[in-house]
Copies of this chain bind each other. A is one copy, B any other.
C-alpha cells in the first residue's frame, strides 16, 4: 500500500488572510521574530496496489481533478510504501 502526503498551498501571488491572522496572533503572543505565515491543507491518502509510479500519477490526477484548486493553489506530494 502507498501513502501519499499532499501539501496544498495558496500560490504566492494570492493573498492569505488566514496566514495573516495567524501571524498577528503569534505577534500578539510575543513571537516578534515571525516574518511570514502561510496556511494550507495537508492530506494523507492511502492507495492500494500498483507500483510507486502509478500511485504518483494517480495522486497528481486526483489533485488536478478534486483536491487542489489549481487556479489559486499549488500542490506538492510524496509517495511512500507502507505496510497495511
Copies of this protein in the complex: 2
Task: Report if A42-B1 is in contact (Cβ < 8 Å); known contacts: A31-B62, A33-B50, A47-B35.
Answer: no
* Chain A, 35-71, CB within 8 A of any chain B CB: 35-50, 58, 62, 65-67
Q: How large is the interface on A (under 10, 10 to 19, 20 to 34, 35 or more residues)?
A: 20 to 34
Task: Report if A40-B41 is in contact (Cβ < 8 Å); known contacts: A33-B47, A48-B33, A50-B33.
Answer: yes
On whether the beta carbons of B65 and A29 are closer than 8 Å, the reply is: yes
Residues of chain B within 8 A (CB-CB) of A33 are 47-50, 58
Residues of chain B within 8 A (CB-CB) of A25 are 66
Write the nearest CB–CB distance from A5 to chain B, whole angstroms: 8
